[in-house]
Chain A
Amino acid sequence: MKRAYDILIAGGGIVGAACADELARRGADVCVVEAECAGSGATAAGMGHVVVMDDSEAQFALNHCSQQLWNELREALPENCEFDGCGTLWAAADEEEMNEARRKADHYAARGVAAEILDSAALAEAEPNLRPGLAGALFVPGDSVVFAPCVAKWLLDRAMENGATLITGKRIVELRSDGAVLNDGSIISAKRMVNAAGSLAPQLTPGIPVRPRKGHIVVTDRYPGFVRHHITELGYLKNAHASDRDSVSFVVQRRMTGQVLLGSSRQFDVTDAAIEPGILARMIQRALEYMPGLGQLNTIRCWAGFRAATPDNLPLIGPHPTRENLWLATGHEGLGITMAPGTGRLLADLMLDGEALIDPAPYLPARFANSEARHG
């Protein structure tokens, strides 16, 4: 009765779902085990911004190819996935940030990504609820926003149409080289395992360089038209957003429902998902500096989730450097929703075909092999 799957995926967040979809489409016999329900974890906590970032060439490459895959998915996605091609506005508060906006614009232009500089007046027209007097913005029209948990569910449904098996409500307690042990004592046999457990991945594969990085989000009631794009401040260059310290920055996003999503915070070394009023207050204060009218809106909920951070801000996609039959697809920090389709494609390329869509080297877990040996 018992059979061995070709591939067992630990985690049905958007990354696990995208991997399952891609592997099942190419004929692999896949089983996904998800402790909660499809699209939980960070996928249910994130903002769903599909954004091309340029912190490094490797980050750009995976983002860019993912964005193209998102655009291919767009037509097929059902309405509840709320695909909204609203674009990103990178808001510049002063001349220094405007210079960064211009640098970014050139950088994108050189790589075939459309981007447009808005001056102060054009920004005020594009987003009337921003505080007057901002220096301007960079507008990236190709970015979009999605409702990630529904996308994850849809990808898993499609994987199942292609023969995949989904087990929900059961936690993997041990990933072995020939399968997984679940919390009810049952064993699922498989030839190869993929750890796609997001920020919880190190629980299943101790020693991998993934740290949980907590983030808070606030959602308001419905105020159609109050925000018209996804807006991120360029000021993150000056605050501690890129460092290890706790930090907040202004991020605001329109939802198709008319709701406004407000972020974001970053904290290491916290594992409790409880709302922390201190950092939440800092985050809201920062947002009010950019968009004072937010103070008049009703908040209906706030929550926190965990990004899976790596030391070099790039995900871990590929075989584990030492453990047999074990593959990793995690470590996407704040870009896992964006990078999910590219990750699924790349992982399937590596696991099944051996020929990859983009150069896989920067994402291979083997890049940390030495430090892992040191840390055990």
Chain B
Amino acid sequence: MADAKRNGIKVWVNGAELSVPPDCTAAAAVARAGVTMHRRSVEGHARGPLCGMGVCMECRVTINGELHQRGCQTLCMDGMRIETAEVASDA
């Protein structure tokens, strides 16, 4: 109940609907959805957020159909669709 205000934003992570607080990053939303792998490396290894500050590029996800967006640098917006490697077409 107290969460109603905090969990104000609705996003989709790999097709599953999720409520997240304002100021939640896409990377945090992915974590909240219980997903740890954001993408696969060129050689197919699992990758996820590392630096949390926009430098390492490991947290890239597909956001609203746009490939290679940094999850840790993107704030969630209502209705945002976030896809990680299992789903994204370039996985």
Contacts and interface: CB of A to CB of B under 8 A. Distances in A.
A224 B42 CA distance: 13
Nearest to A224: B90
Contacts of B67: 221-223
Nearest to A226: B67
A370 interface: no
A258 interface: yes
B90 A296 contact: no
Nearest to B89: A224
B66 A258 contact: no
Interface residues of B, number: 6
A296 B90 CA distance: 16
A223 B66 CA distance: 10
Contacts of B90: 222-224, 258
Contacts of A203: none
B39 to A, nearest CB: 10
Interface string B65-87: 01110000000000000000000
Interface centre among B42, B67, B90 (most CB of A within 10 A): B67
A298 interface: yes
Contacts of B42: 257
A302 to B, nearest CB: 16
Interface in A230-286: 257-258
A257 B68 CA distance: 14
Contacts of B66: 296
A222 B41 CA distance: 11
Contacts of A257: 42
Interface in A215-233: 221-224
A222 B89 CA distance: 11
A82 to B, nearest CB: 13
Contacts of B89: 224
Nearest to B42: A257
Contacts of B68: 221-223, 297-298
Contacts of A296: 66
Contacts of A224: 89-90
A126 B70 CA distance: 30
Interface in B46-75: 66-68
Contacts of A221: 67-68
A221 B89 CA distance: 14
Contacts of A258: 90
B44 to A, nearest CB: 13
A292 to B, nearest CB: 15
A297 B90 CA distance: 14
A22 to B, nearest CB: 33
A258 B40 CA distance: 14
A224 B89 CA distance: 9
A2 B66 CA distance: 61
A296 B62 CA distance: 13
B25 to A, nearest CB: 18
A298 B74 CA distance: 15
A220 to B, nearest CB: 9
A224 B90 CA distance: 7
B88 to A, nearest CB: 11
Given A221-B68, A224-B90, 13 more contacts: A221-B67, A222-B67, A222-B68, A222-B90, A223-B67, A223-B68, A223-B90, A224-B89, A257-B42, A258-B90, A296-B66, A297-B68, A298-B68
Interface of A: 221-224, 257-258, 296-298
15 contacts: A221-B67, A221-B68, A222-B67, A222-B68, A222-B90, A223-B67, A223-B68, A223-B90, A224-B89, A224-B90, A257-B42, A258-B90, A296-B66, A297-B68, A298-B68
Give 6 nearest A-B pairs by CB, closest first.
A221-B68, A298-B68, A223-B67, A222-B90, A224-B90, A296-B66
